[in-house]
Amino acid sequence: MSVQRMLKVTLVAYQRDSETVLEALQDVGVLHVVPLSSADEVRAAHSGTNDEVDFANRLQRLIHALGSVAPAPARLQDTERSADEVARIVEDIAGRLEHTREALAVTETLIQQLRPWGDFDPDELEALEKSGVPVCFAALPRGTWYAIDKRQLAYAVAFEDDERVWAVFFGTAADALPVSTIAVPRMRLSALVEQREDMHDQIAAQRRQLGRYSHYGALFASRLEAIADRVQLLRTLDESLNDGPLVAFQGYVPAENAFDLRSALSELPVAIALAPPGPQEKVPVKLKNNWINTGYESVLRAFSGIHYREKDITWTIGILFILFGSLCLLDAGYAVLLLLTGIGLKVRGNENFYRVFLTTGIFGAIVGALSGQVFGLVVGQQIYPDLHPVLPLSADPLSCFSFSLIVGGVAMAFSYSVAIWQRGVRTNALGSLILVVALGVLMAAHKAGGAMLSLLSAEPVSEASVALIATVGSNLALLLSAVAVCAWVLWPDPVFGRDAKVPNVLWTIYSGVTGLLQDIMSHMRLFGIALSGSILALVINKIAGLMPMAATVVFAVVGHIFVFLLSLLSLYIHTNRLIFLEFGSKCIEGGHYFYNPFRRGFIA
């Protein structure tokens, strides 16, 4: 579990061998190529003018245009034309469609400007102004509107809301008012609305026309795929440094693949220089994780990403996603559905989320079984009334609520620990971690002191002993809180700059206390999501129980699938929110520059 070490690579070859070198790089597929920039560079002569590149760009535009519309019914599809004819027709329709959309955007802007003033007749206004009665439009704050002496004015209120009044003033007396006039388009609102509807109809018709040729998209895509490697080679050549007979390329290679790179180019007249990247360079990130954590790399990529010079925290995301996701479901039946969804994703080729859903589903099934809930049926209530679940989270909402706060406290302690692992002890994370421990000690002493003492002693625990534990715990918590404040004073968060010691300390103490409480309370969403899912599942079961058997089965299956999909959405959104805001803001620097080697089938 690590960020792989990268080496910076510089290649210099003869201009005549440039394409041969690039083809060798495509074959070995380990070099992440970056554009070379220099004030003295001379770009390749074919940059932007190469016929193959232009043809590829045209194919991409055609594929995008055809892929953005719904296919026409088979009876309306045009199948008699050649690909070149279709390309010309699609480009014409797509151009007209883009022009119509631009005109529609202008019309929408005009409608929004005119809407407060209503459907006035611009010809009548022009007639008034020609007769010597000027007309001005103004939008005034309500305070200004009430302060104006309107007894000598000719005006009309066009529209008003809680904050402003849109008024039209007639005559020269309005010139003395302390208001700013508005240049209103002299057009009829009704005509613009009608024009907008016509444009919507045009767009719909143009999209239907494109839909008649959407089946040609696969043909264009196959043509693009056939030349993709060649086109990418030419584009990469355009980003190289060309100077006379020589050409230079630059990129990054994983240190473990440096030998592969040298071997691939050993038979070619090319000079290779390998060096560690500089401290300010933007280095692509390649992660090395085990089978399980590899799936959670996709979650990391989708949100914060990771910086080359920070430690790999994919394993922490995996732990938290599994834990939070299981608590969001809190149902063994839905967890099994999540597991089956992961298997379905694997069949469709999505290996990463297969691993995410598989591991979360397995752990979720265990948590659901321990909490005694299967598809909304609770052990100890609807099934096996004489049994009591190990974790009464489903049967007792208050227990679920308390448990979510405990999870929040543990998660925040985990986040500050990871922050210390990332950046060292001398950061504000140390004080925050000590404060979390202080809260834990306080809660344990007051809520669980007697229980812990009874486990250690065979005799009954007296009230005096329980009170003594609470007192000792409170004093220890106060001591730890004082130590936390001292740590913040020594190593505050440098939010106002390294030299602003006092403001940094004050801000760190304030945000440290309030932020910690807010972050812990934010984990209550686990309780809310789990409870709402349980209630929905219970409602499905209740309604299904009122129906005949055949209808019961159908309604229960459809209903629980619907609840599962809602739970899956909540699981993904809120789990990642807790990970990348409450947890990640403390210990993830983030970045989205990932290793993407130049290879056959390269994705730019």
Contact indicator for 113, 198 with CB cutoff of 8 Å:
no
CATH code of residue 247: 3.30.70.120
Q: Over the chain, what is the mean pLDDT? A: 85
Average pLDDT over residues 196-207: 93
181 and 130 in one domain? Answer: yes
Predicted confidence at residue 376, as pLDDT, reads: 84
What are φ and ψ of residue 242, in 5° steps? -115, 125
Predicted local confidence at residue 462, as pLDDT: 66
Residue 220 lies in a domain: no
In the 8-state DSSP scheme, what is residue 284? -
| Contact call for residues 14 and 246 (beta carbons, < 8 A) | yes
Please tell me whether residues 301 and 261 are part of one structural domain. no
Are residue 270 and residue 359 in the same domain, yes or no? Answer: no
Q: Which of 165, 187, 209 is the last residue of a domain?
A: 187
Is 467 a residue whose pLDDT tops 90?
A: no
Please check whether residue 261 is in contact with residue 30, taking contact to mean a CB–CB distance below 8 angstroms: yes
Q: Are residues 356 and 247 in the same domain?
A: no
What pLDDT does residue 49 have? 45
Specify if 306 maps to a domain.
yes
Question: Is the entire prediction scored with pTM above 0.75?
Answer: no
**Domain encompassing residue 258:** 1-44+240-284
Phi–psi pair at 156, nearest 5 degrees = -145, 135
Mean pLDDT of 336-353: 91
Please tell me whether residues 388 and 411 are part of one structural domain.
yes
260 near 14, Cβ under 8 Å?
Answer: no
pLDDT 10s digits, 30-81: 999 888 754 343 344 444 446 777 788 888 888 898 888 888 888 888 888 8
In a domain, 233, yes or no: no
Which residues have CB under 8 Å from 36's CB, separation 6+?
Answer: 239, 240, 241, 248, 249, 250
Instruction: Return the pLDDT at 4.
Output: 92
The answer as to whether 447 is a domain residue is: no
Is residue 280 domain-shared with residue 336, that is, in the same domain? Answer: no
What pLDDT sits at residue 128? Answer: 85
Terminal alpha carbon distance of the chain: 26
Boundary of a domain, candidates 284, 310, 338: 284
- pLDDT (tens digit per residue) in 355-392: 999 999 999 999 988 888 888 887 756 666 666 777 77
Query: Once rounded to an integer, what is the mean pLDDT over residues 440-469?
Result: 68
- Residue-wise pLDDT for 309-329, tens only, equals 899 999 999 999 999 999 888
Asked if 342 and 397 sit in the same domain, the reply is: yes
Q: Which of 175-179, 400-404, 432-436, 509-513 has the lowest mean pLDDT?
A: 175-179
Q: Number of structural domains, the chain?
A: 3
Residue 179 scores a pLDDT above 80: no
Instruction: Assess whether 308 and 244 both reside in one domain.
Output: no
Is the backbone of residue 12 left (phi > 0), alpha (psi -120 to 50) or beta? Answer: beta
CB of 233 within 8 A of CB of 249? no
In degrees, rounded to 5, the angle at the alpha carbon of residue 331 between the alpha carbons of residues 328 and 335 is: 85
Provide mean pLDDT across the span 479-490: 93
Higher pLDDT, 498 or 543: 543
Tell me, what's the pLDDT at 254? 94
Same domain membership, residue 356 and residue 266: no
Query: Is 487 part of a structural domain of the chain?
Result: no
pLDDT at 397 over 70: yes
The answer to whether residue 462 sits within a structural domain is no
Segment among 42-46, 72-76, 204-208, 395-399 with least mean pLDDT: 42-46
pLDDT tens for each residue of 525-554: 888 888 888 888 888 988 988 888 888 889
Task: Say whether both 553 and 409 belong to one domain.
Answer: yes
What average pLDDT does the segment 338-352 reach?
91
In a domain, 196, yes or no: no
Asked if residues 259 and 322 have their Cβ atoms less than 8 Å apart, the reply is no
Q: Read off the pLDDT of residues 73-128 as tens digits, 9 standing for 90 and up.
A: 888 888 888 888 899 999 999 999 999 999 999 999 999 988 888 888 888 888 88
DSSP 249: E
Question: Are 305 and 397 contained in the same domain?
Answer: yes
In a domain? residue 170: yes
How far is the C-alpha of 3 from the C-alpha of 306, rounded, in Å? 9
Q: Are residues 262 and 294 in the same domain?
A: no
